[in-house]
Structure formats: C-alpha cells, structure tokens
Structure 1
Amino acid sequence: MLQPQDVLKKYWNHDTFRQPQEQIIRSVLAGKDTFALMPTGGGKSVCFQVPAMMQQGICLVISPLIALMKDQAENLFKRGIKAIALTGSLSTDEISDKLDNCKYGDYKFLYLSPERLQQEWIAERIKELPINLVAVDEAHCVSQWGHDFRPAYLKIAVLKKMLPNVPFLALTASATKRVEQDITAQLGLVNPAVFKKSFARENLAYMVFEAEDKLYRICKILDKNPEPSIIYVRNRKSCHETANQLRSLGYGATFYHGGLREKEKEENMRLWMQEKAQVMVATNAFGMGIDKANVKTVIHIQLPENLENYYQEAGRAGRNGEKAFAVLLVNPSDIAVTKNQFIDVLPDRNFLKEVYAKLNNYLQIAYGEGIGATYPFNLNDFCRVYNFPVVKAYNVLQFLDRQGVLTLSKEFSESITVQFLMPSKEVIRYISLNPADEEMLLAILRNYPGVFDMETSISSSLITRKSGKTEQELLTMLQKLQQKEIITFKSRGSDSSLTFNEVREDEHTINRIAKYLEKQNEIKVKQFDSVIHYISNTSRCKSRLLLEYFDETDTVDCGICSYCISKARPAFRPQEAAQAVIALLEAAPHDSREIEDKTGLTAKETVYILQLLLENDKIKLNLNNQYTLK
C-alpha cells in the first residue's frame, strides 16, 4: 500500500517529514477536518499536496496570494504534477476551459482565490469536480480577529455545505487562540483534529540593537557573517540606495522589489541563490516561496508593521538548522517614522465614506448603477482632483477591494517610467546649462537613485510637489530630454483599473463595511504597540517575547538573543572601562568606533566613558575627529 513517505520521496525527493506534517497528512487521509498552525518554513503545502497525490480526484486549494498560487502551480508542473491556478487575468471562457480540464484532464490541483467563490457559476462548476480535499491556506483571513481579514473567506463555508463528505484542511502560519476558534466556527469544521507546531526557533538568535549609523552596523555584521544574507527595507527607494551603498563599499549586493521586471527579478534572484551576491536587499515582496536553507543573517533596518510579518521574514534565516541571526536595527526616530507610515495613514469611517462617494463621482457612476463595470483609473490624478493624501486613499481602495466592493486590477504602478542614458556627471552639466529644469531634475535624482541603472517608475505628484512645478511642465521637460536622447521616457494615461462588484449605494455600503474597518484599525494599532514593546523591552528574552505574542507561555530564556547575551556580559564598571580607553589612547589616537570595537564596550557605554574623560580633562579631540590623551 502506498505510504505518504513514498509520495514525498517520489515527487519531493525527501526521505522524512518535519513535525507535524505526517500527523496532519494521516488526519486528512482519514477523512477528518483538520486545523494546522505551522510557522513560516514549516512546510504547509506538503500537508495537502501529499494526501492529494495519494487519492483519486483533485485537491481544491483556496489562497489569497496570486503570486503564491502561480508559484506553487508552476513548481508542481516541474515535478510532473498537473495543476491549474485561476488567477485574476483570465476571461470567463478561459476559466470555463480550465474547469473542463480539471473535470476531464487528470489534473490534481486547482488553485483559486476566495473571491472566485462569490461567482455562483464557478461554485456550481466546482460541485461537479471530483474533489478529494479542500485546503484553505492563510486561514486566519476568515477571522475578523485575524491580522488580514477578508470577507470573501466567509464564502468558503458554502463549499462545506456543498461538499459535506470532503475533508477540509485549514492552514495558517499565525493565529491566536481566539482566531483559531473563529476559523473553526466560520469554516464550519466538524470536530477538527488540531495540530500546532511551536513558533520556537532554537537556532535563531533574535537581536535588537540601537544604531545611529545603521550602514556601519550592517557592514560589521556582514564582515562577521559572510554567508548569504537578506536585508529587509520598507520601500523601493531604500532598496536601491542600500544595495548601491553596500556595493560601493565592496560587498556583493543585489536587490528585489515588486517594481522590477520579471527578467530582473529572476537575474537578481539567481545571483543571490548561486551566492554570486552575498546580500539580497529587499522589500516584503521578496520571500514568497523562497527556500534558501543557508541564510545566515536577516537584517531589518526599519521597524516592521507587525510581529506576524517580522517573524515570517526573520524566519528565512537558519532553515538548515545551524545557528543564524535575525537582527533588528533601531534608532530613536524609528517609532515616530513608522507610526507616521503605518498608523497615521489608517482611514477612519468618515474618510472611507468621502473617498467612496468621490470615487463614484470621479468615475461618473450614478446611484444604483456600476455593478460589473470596469474603469481605467489613475490614483495620483484622483488624489490630486480631491486633494486626498495618496497613501491614505490607497488604503481605502485596498480595504474596498478586500471587502469585495470593488476589485483592483493589480497593484498600482506609477504612470511614468524614466531611465537616464548618460552618466551622472553629464546630467549635472546639463543642469548647469538649463537652470529652468534644475528643481525637477534634482527631485528625480534625489528620490530615485536607480534611474541610471534601469527603467524606474516615478511619481509625478511627488516630483511636482518637491520642485514646485506643474505636471504639464514636468511632462514637457521629460519629452524634451527624450528628444535629446538624455533619457528614455514612457507615460501611461492610467495606472490601473477598477471593477465594481456591486451597485452604488453610498450609505448602505459604508454602513455594512465600516465596522470591519474600525476593527482592522484597532488590530493594527495593537500590533504596532506589540512591535514597540518588542524593541523597547530590555528586561526579557527576545525569543520569549515573540513566543508569548503567539500565545506560547511555557517558555524559557533562549540564551542566544541580544537580551540573553547582554545579561551574560560582565557588569559595566566605568572606572575599569575608562582605564582601558586611556591605555588604548596611549598607543595611538582612535575615533569612537575604533574605541568601541577594541574595548568591547557598547555604543552607549563608549559615549558615557568618552564624555566622562572629556569632562575630567583626560582626553581631547584632534582635527581628524579622533580622541587623544591631553
């Protein structure tokens, strides 16, 4: 009789399962509804892929992540397994053809988003398929107490009634006890078998360091750990800047973000995977399906939005079981900056109502109309017309998309792309000869450092705001520069499209969904508070703080995090430290960094000792900004 290990070996070339994969698989094979909480890197997909291959019929996989659906379907195809993903770009006829293939073509996996289930004809067609298992990935999305609630997930319960004899497997990488109970209830799971893998990573040292000069600290970390590393940043600009800074200092660095073309993504990924580049500088777009076992260090140089995301990204280090490091670099301004980026831009009920009404007016949709209609849409122009903050308005559109009121065709991309064809010194020369263009050009150069290397999306509203010019003046200048072959320049009239999934009913629509907005805002504020608690708590083990956040209370100090190491350090003795610094300066002048490195003092301790010695007239600063004895 075929065993799960046989399938694992045949298709995935692994001899053994990780805990608790095999128990989950056997529960599913026994026909039981099953709930599985497995942290990132735990191998969730194997838990439904193996049992599906052991049975007749097809496995239905529901996932909100289009990129992950496509990635998994392609990986299965490479292993000789037939899989189909119903992604957003398909026409009705194409979907119908693919569902016919599922029914008659010996396919083993059908991936679709929960929004597809809102189309009744698709749900009816699914009922005709020989479904052997329904796998619900990112199952926390079904709970309004989860960090990523999507009302479309509530429709999955309809499948449970349509397929009463088919086992359901709910999978998530992050869920509190309350969310777990909500998942079970909302999906209608019947006496589910529950499996939980601890969030503990015994080989992963969680480090939080204060750093005024983060680039310097990064270099110290990379020098000490020359193995593959990931540096997470918040935006595309930081991606290019950080990678360029590291390259200029002699480190092999590449970058990855959602704005790159597929060829660039693949090439940059290849450089890093083949270890021709030590460092991958990336936004959170990097990580889906990434499984490089020997990542030694994951460094965050800006605060994460929540600990769920941080745990997931940090967890990409040390998957080979060897000691690895998850480093978070912070400075005093980080909390205010991050609060401004994540919390201050959360829309309230009134802003939601205003944006929804103005959106319908902007697109000239009459009351009671609009359902099924698709419109080209330019976010920057919409925000300019109504004087809306762009990020805050975009958050409203994302929320309306998650609520199923409308569908964003894709993530917004900027409507202008620019690449300079001549070196920077020639551009500076052009600026000196054309002072009228100076402010606009400098705004582009300062905000988009990658424009010399690749086609770069730029925000026209940002450039016009920074330069004090109009959008027409900017477009005229760019067209002139293209004619002179100084740049390549492309402009699109719209940067996305919106499809309305219901008729316009302002009060009714907002009253129905506003409660979810308020709940989500409350959750996001609490999550951010948890991030602040994690970085600022200096009296608890970092690993324990993370585990307790995920409801694991029976924990012990890890012994390897920044807190545990600091606790094991000898007590700070100012007199001894001062003597050590004086002895060092007797040999030669040193700057503060050199003193910190050679004495083993922390940055704070070094500053304290230097101030003490300066106040007591023992040392002075020379013209090279080095300390020397008086």
Structure 2
Amino acid sequence: MAILPTGYGKSLPYQLYPLVLQAMGEVTSKVIVCCPLISLMKDQVKRANAFEGITAAYIGQSQDKENILSADIIFGSPEALLSSEWKDKLNDLNITVIVIDEFHLIATWGQNDKDSKLAFRRWFGEIGELRTICPGACVLALSATCTQKAKKRVMKVVTFKADHVSIFISPDKRNIKYIVKRVTNNTEMSMTWVVDGLLELGKLFPKILIYCKSISDVAKIFDYITDEVSEELRSCVAMYHSETEDAIKETILTSISDPQDKIRIIISTNALGMGVDFKNLSNVILFGPPNSMLDVVQELGRAGRNGERAVAILMYKSHHLSQCDEEVKVLYHTLECRRISMMKPFLGDNDLEQLKLDIGDHTCCDICQQKCTCKNCALLTLEKLLTGQDFSSYQYDEELSDTSDEMSDEIIDDNKSDFEP
C-alpha cells in the first residue's frame, strides 16, 4: 500500500515491472490495473506504451479482446474486470500483480453511506474478488490521499495482511495557504469580487479553478461572470462538467498546463480532477465543500503542484455543510489552525504533533495569519482581489507576488459526484 503525493511516480513500479520480468525470462506474466476512469486509463496506457518493450491496453479500447489480453499491462474498471465476460479470461492468464489505482475510492465510492444511500459505484466495494480470480498475484494499492479510517476499510476489502508493506508520505502541502470564507445565499453576489478582478486585470487575471458541488452552480456562476464582462473577456471563462462537449474539455485540459493561456477562470464540478496535470495552477476555490475530508484534500491539492506558493479559498453558504462529515464541519468552523484540522484524519499522533511544531505563520491559513505579529503579511493576487486591495502596480507574474481571508452561498440541486465512470 503506497500513499504518496501526486508527482511521486506511483505508476513507475508497475510500468517497469514487465521489463524486469522479461530480463528474468518470465515473459508470460501480466499486470492488471484496476482504474476508476476511462480518461485515466487512456493516459496511463499512453505512458506505458512509451516504454520500449512494454505493451498496454485497456478494456473498452477496442473490440479485439485478444489484442487486449496479449498486452503486458491490462487496465480496466472494477465493473469490467469483475464482469462475467472478463473474469474467466483473466483467470486463464498468468497475472502476478494486481494494481488498484486510487484505492481510496473503495471507501468513498464502493460502500453505502451513513444515510443508507446506495454506493456510487458498488463494484469498488467488491474489488477484493480480484484476489480470488488471481490467487497467486500480489497487490499494489496506490493513492495520493487516504484517511486512517478509509485505510482500514480498504485493508479489509482487499484482504491485506497485518504485515503488509505500507509506504506513506503526508498529503499536507505546506506551500498552499487555506482561507475559509462564508458568503451570502446569493450565488452571484458571492462572486462579485471575481468579476471586479477580471474587469480590472483582464487577461492578466490570475488563473483559477472554481470547484462547485453541482452542475447547476457551475452554470450559474459561469452565466453570471460572462454576463458581467465584455465579449472579449468572456473567452477568459470556461466551464467543465460531465455534460461538457469533448472538444471544449480538450481545450480546457490544454489550458490548465499553460499559465499564459487565455482561459483564466475554469468553473467545474469534480469531473475535472483525477489524472489531470495541474502543475501550473496556483489558485483554487471550493464553492461549497465536498462531503468528505478526503475529497476536500483532493480538490485543494490541485493547487501548488509545482511547489510555488498557492492559495485555496474555501467558500461556503450556510446550508453547504449540512451533508458533510463531521471532520469537514470542524475544518470550516475551527478557531485553531486549519491545516492541523485538515490533517487530523490523515496523520498519526506523532506526525500530527510534529506538524504542530513546524507551522504557525501567515502563509499557513487565515487563522494563523490573524495571529501573526510580523505586520507585513504578503498576499497572493487572489487574496488581494478577495480583500479589495489596490492593483495599480500589478504585474503579470503574480505567482511570484504575494498571500488571506473568508466567505457564504444557496440550495444545492445535486450532491452526487459528477465523475464520469
């Protein structure tokens, strides 16, 4: 079980494994990778096939099953891998490694929730059956974030033994500053500062990703911002969700890795997430929190992947927290350091105590800034916009600039995930 931050090369072990086997003369061994999304499979297959001597394919890529079965690495969703159509075929292969990518989804997608709602994708909860199909294979479970509670659930489902090897690096990203802001129940009014900033800075507006809990909120914010700016500036705003046209999705995905692309504001559901390269993004807004702390950390972690200073603003309306886990409610209401509150579900006691010793300045969170006595707290551009500061001397390179604050919102039409299986 490996819990490692994005960019640590979690995929390399199973990508290189076939080459090691070939060098040892074991040419019949296969790797199967259980993967949650088609977009992720496409990306991983492309990366694996880039290695000379390795072949990779995913179930659903073509109707040619023999071509898929001949690959060294076979990707598939749990629904596909556990289907009657594929179980027998996998049973006939010499599979020596089972990889479970994004294994935390076993706990978040694969089980009924506390209100007895059915699991979003129940086959994640049955993933342990792969061990029965491939009894001789070892398991590599990979994730960037997993709470202590979810980890126990996963170990039970996948039947990990007590002496399994566990590799863990904290999901805490010190370069991200966290700010909570309660806003009014009027969605449009809560975004006036974004419109003001776009009107003032134009195409120099800092690139931001705004996550919403529903497609309805995405459309509402998109319509409001584009209605308030000139036709030229409307091209700086885009929205992304499961129903967005593929061509528009590709344009947005390309813009994310280019800090100078004309698209400056992306308003999205959680459909824009796993497997996307956010390395040049320094600003994220959550317009309403996800229900679990695991998903909160996942979405906030889209910012600052390049190691530069970043800011994450957690905006919420009074009703937004009603469906959230208790630990998420604590994060939004705490009077202590938000980073400590956020990391409690992920860290053991010793790591948590060390974290408390390591932090406590204005770049940590809005609460730490309030307690800061330096009298010279630097702000990133998004914070300056939020607090209405003057921009007469603004320059494009805002990520090298400076970093604080709070926010509130309206009825959510749909709390379901907008991921695309």
* TM-score, length-scaled by structure 2: 0.71
Which of the residues 310, 313, 333 maps onto 1:536? 333
The one-letter amino acid paired with 2:178 is: Y
Distance 2:154 2:292 in 1: 21
Which of the residues 165, 169, 174 maps onto 1:197? 169
Which of the residues 17, 33, 44 maps onto 1:51? 17
- By how many angstroms is 1:153 displaced? 4.1
Are 2:343 and 1:547 aligned? Answer: yes
- By how many angstroms is 1:154 displaced? 5.4
1:336-368: CA deviations, max 9, x gaps? 2553xxx4xxxxxxxxxxxxxxxxxxxxxxxxx
Distance 2:102 2:386 in 1: 48
Are 2:237 and 1:253 aligned? Answer: yes
Which of the residues 557, 568, 572 maps onto 2:372? 568
- By how many angstroms is 1:303 displaced? 3.1
Q: Which residue of 1 aligns with 2:77?
A: 113
- By how many angstroms is 1:62 displaced? 1.1
Are 2:6 and 1:210 aligned? Answer: no
Q: Which residue of 2 aligns with 1:168?
A: 139
> Which structure has the larger Rg over C-alpha atoms?
1
**Structure 1 residues 568 and 194: alpha-carbon distance in aligned structure 2, compared to 1, 3 A threshold:** same
Runs of 4+ aligned structure 1 residues displaced above 6 Å come to 144-149, 220-225, 593-596, 601-604
Q: Which residue of 2 aligns with 1:519?
A: none
Bigger RCO of structures 1 and 2 (CA < 8 A, at least 6 apart): 2
Structure 1 segment 373-384 matched on structure 2, within 5 A:
none
Q: Which has the higher helix share?
A: 1
**Structure 1 residues 267 and 211: alpha-carbon distance in aligned structure 2, compared to 1, 3 A threshold:** same
Structure 1 segment 78-117 matched on structure 2, within 5 A:
82-87=55-60, 94=63, 97-98=64-65, 100-103=66-69, 105=70, 107-117=71-81
Q: Which residue of 2 aligns with 1:301?
A: 287
**Structure 1 residues 178 and 278: alpha-carbon distance in aligned structure 2, compared to 1, 3 A threshold:** closer
CA contact (8 A) 2:179 2:366 kept: yes
**Structure 1 residues 570 and 530: alpha-carbon distance in aligned structure 2, compared to 1, 3 A threshold:** same
- In structure 2, runs of 5+ residues without a counterpart are 23-28, 114-118, 376-384, 391-403, 408-421
Which of the residues 206, 220, 231 maps onto 2:210? 231
CA contact (8 A) 1:141 1:149 kept: no
Taking only the aligned residue pairs, the percentage that are identical comes to: 24
- By how many angstroms is 1:281 displaced? 1.5
- By how many angstroms is 1:179 displaced? 3.3
- In structure 1, runs of 5+ residues without a counterpart are 1-34, 344-524, 572-592, 605-630
How large is the Cα RMSD of the aligned pairs? 3.6
Distance 1:185 1:76 in 2: 30
- By how many angstroms is 1:37 displaced? 1.9
CA contact (8 A) 1:233 1:302 kept: yes
1:167-187: CA deviations, max 9, x gaps? 210123343334323433432
Distance 2:278 2:93 in 1: 36
Q: Which residue of 2 aligns with 1:36?
A: 2
**Structure 1 residues 36 and 321: alpha-carbon distance in aligned structure 2, compared to 1, 3 A threshold:** same
Are 2:154 and 1:183 aligned? Answer: yes
Structure 1 segment 347-366 matched on structure 2, within 5 A:
none
CA contact (8 A) 2:146 2:294 kept: no
CA contact (8 A) 1:303 1:328 kept: yes
Q: Which residue of 2 aligns with 1:321?
A: 307
- By how many angstroms is 1:193 displaced? 0.6
CA contact (8 A) 2:360 2:368 kept: yes
CA contact (8 A) 1:208 1:327 kept: yes
Distance 1:602 1:551 in 2: 26
- By how many angstroms is 1:536 displaced? 1.4
Q: Which residue of 2 aligns with 1:125?
A: 89
Structure 1 segment 416-495 matched on structure 2, within 5 A:
none
* TM-score, length-scaled by structure 1: 0.49
Distance 2:84 2:371 in 1: 60
Distance 1:549 1:73 in 2: 33
